[in-house]
Amino acid sequence: MKLSQRVSQVKPSATLAINAKARLLRSQGVRVISFGVGEPDFDTPHHIGQMAVQAVLRGQTRYTPVQGIPELKEAILRTVETDYGLAYEPDDVLVSCGGKHCLYNLFQAVLDPGDAVIIPSPYWVSYPDMVRLAGAEPVFVPCAEARGFKMTPEDLRRAITARTRMLILNSPSNPTGTHYRPEELRALAEVLLEHDHVIIVSDDIYYRILFDDLSWANMAMVEPRLKDRTFIVNGVSKTYAMTGWRIGYLLGDRDVIKAAGKIQSQSTSNPSSVAQWAAVAALKGEQETCQKMVRVFAERRAYVMDRLARLPGVSCPMPDGAFYVFPNVSAYYGAKVGGRTIDGSSALADYLMEEVHLAVVPGEAFGEDRCIRLSFALSMDELREGFDRLERALQKLAPKVT
- pLDDT tens profile 198-232: 999 999 999 999 999 999 999 999 999 999 999 99
Beta-bridge partners for 168:
201
Q: How confident is the model at residue 84 (pLDDT cuts 50, 70, 90)?
A: very high
pLDDT score for 402: 53
Q: Give the up-direction half-sphere exposure of residue 157: CA atoms within 13 A in the CB hemisphere.
A: 10
**Helix orientation angle between 380-395 and 288-309, rounded to the nearest 10 degrees:** 20
Q: Which helix (H) or strand (E) holds 395?
A: helix 380-395
Mean pLDDT, rounded, for 303-308: 98
Task: State the Cα–Cα distance between residues 131 and 157, nearest whole angstrom.
Answer: 21
Q: E-assigned strands of 48-136? A: 93-96, 116-121
In angstroms, how far is CA 181 from the centroid of its own chain? Answer: 18
Task: State the Cα–Cα distance between residues 205 and 174, nearest whole angstrom.
Answer: 10
- Range with lowest mean pLDDT among 31-40, 208-217, 392-401: 392-401
Mean pLDDT, rounded, for 259-269: 98
Structural domains for the chain = 5-43+289-397 (3.90.1150.10), 46-284 (3.40.640.10)
Q: What is the DSSP letter of 97?
A: S
pLDDT score for 146: 96
Q: Which helix (H) or strand (E) holds 166?
A: strand 164-170
- Range with lowest mean pLDDT among 15-24, 70-79, 156-165: 15-24
Assess contact for 267 and 108: CB atoms under 8 A: no
| Helix intervals (H) in 134-173 | 153-159
The tens digit of pLDDT for each residue in 125-147 reads: 999 999 999 999 999 999 999 99
Task: State the Cα–Cα distance between residues 156 and 191, nearest whole angstrom.
Answer: 7
Mean pLDDT, rounded, for 195-199: 98
The tens digit of pLDDT for each residue in 323-364 reads: 999 999 999 999 998 888 999 999 999 999 999 999 999 999
Percent of the chain with pLDDT over 70: 99
Task: Please determine, for residue 398, whether its predicted confidence score (pLDDT) is greater than 80.
Answer: no
Assess contact for 198 and 311: CB atoms under 8 A: no
Q: Which amino acid is at 38?
A: G
Q: What is the DSSP letter of 371?
A: B
- Range with lowest mean pLDDT among 29-33, 86-90, 162-166: 29-33
Q: How confident is the model at residue 22 (pLDDT cuts 50, 70, 90)?
A: confident
- Range with lowest mean pLDDT among 30-34, 118-122, 191-195, 273-277: 30-34
Q: How confident is the model at residue 400 (pLDDT cuts 50, 70, 90)?
A: low
Helix (H/G/I), strand (E/B), else coil: 185: helix
Task: State the Cα–Cα distance between residues 360 and 10, nearest whole angstrom.
Answer: 21
Task: State the Cα–Cα distance between residues 128 and 125, nearest whole angstrom.
Answer: 7
Q: What share of the chain is helix, strand, coil (3-state, %, to 5)?
A: 45, 15, 40
pLDDT score for 329: 97
Task: State the Cα–Cα distance between residues 264 and 107, nearest whole angstrom.
Answer: 12
User: For all residues of the chain together, what is the average pLDDT?
Assistant: 96
Task: Please determine, for residue 9, whether its predicted confidence score (pLDDT) is greater than 90.
Answer: no
Angle at 377 between CA 374 and CA 381, to 5 degrees: 95
Percent of the chain with pLDDT over 90: 91
pLDDT score for 25: 87
User: SS in 3 state form for 260-310?
Assistant: HHHHHHCCCCCCCHHHHHHHHHHHHCCCHHHHHHHHHHHHHHHHHHHHHHC
Helix (H/G/I), strand (E/B), else coil: 251: strand
Cis peptide upstream of residue 122 (ω within 30 degrees of 0): yes
Q: How confident is the model at residue 252 (pLDDT cuts 50, 70, 90)?
A: very high
**Rg value, the chain, Cα:** 21
Task: Please determine, for residue 399, whether its predicted confidence score (pLDDT) is greater than 60.
Answer: no
